[in-house]
Amino acid sequence: MAKPICGLLCLALAAGGCATLRSLESQAQREYFIELEPVLPAGETYYIDPIDSSVVWSKQGVQVKVKFYDDAMLDAEYGTRFTPYTLTGVEIPGLDYTPPLWTVFEVTVINRTRERVELDPTQAILRLDDGRRLLCRQGAGAWYDKDEFYDYSYLKWGGREGNVQYHASLDRNPIWTKSEYHREKPVRKGSRYVGKLTFPPLPGETTSFTLEVNNFILAFDRFAVGYGNPVEFTDLKFDFEVDHGVRWVEHE
Q: Where are the domains of the chain?
A: 2-250
The phi, psi pair for 237, rounded to 5°, reads: -135, 125
Q: Name the amino acid, one letter, at 47.
A: Y
Q: State the DSSP H helix or E strand holding residue 7, giving kind and residue range, or none if neither.
A: helix 2-27
How far apart are the C-alpha atoms of 211 and 69, rounded to whole Å? 14
71, 102, 157, 173, 195 from 87: Cα distances, Å: 9, 9, 10, 15, 20
Are residues 169 and 156 in contact, defined by beta-carbon separation less than 8 angstroms? no
pLDDT of 107 reads 98
How far apart are the C-alpha atoms of 65 and 57, rounded to whole Å? 6
pTM of the model: 0.81
Per-residue pLDDT of the chain (252 residues; tens, 9 = 90+): 444 444 444 444 444 554 444 444 456 899 999 999 999 999 999 999 999 999 999 999 999 999 999 999 999 999 988 888 999 988 888 899 999 999 999 999 999 999 999 999 999 999 999 999 888 888 654 444 554 555 666 666 655 444 434 444 454 578 888 999 999 999 999 999 999 999 989 999 999 999 999 999 999 988 776 678 999 999 999 999 999 999 999 866
The count of C-alpha atoms lying within 13 angstroms of the C-alpha of 195, restricted to the half-sphere facing its C-beta, is 22
How far apart are the C-alpha atoms of 133 and 126, rounded to whole Å? 5
Residue partners of 71: CB distance under 8 A and separation at least 6: 32, 85, 86, 88, 98, 100, 101
Q: State the DSSP H helix or E strand holding residue 35, giving kind and residue range, or none if neither.
A: strand 28-39
Q: State the DSSP H helix or E strand holding residue 187, giving kind and residue range, or none if neither.
A: strand 187-188
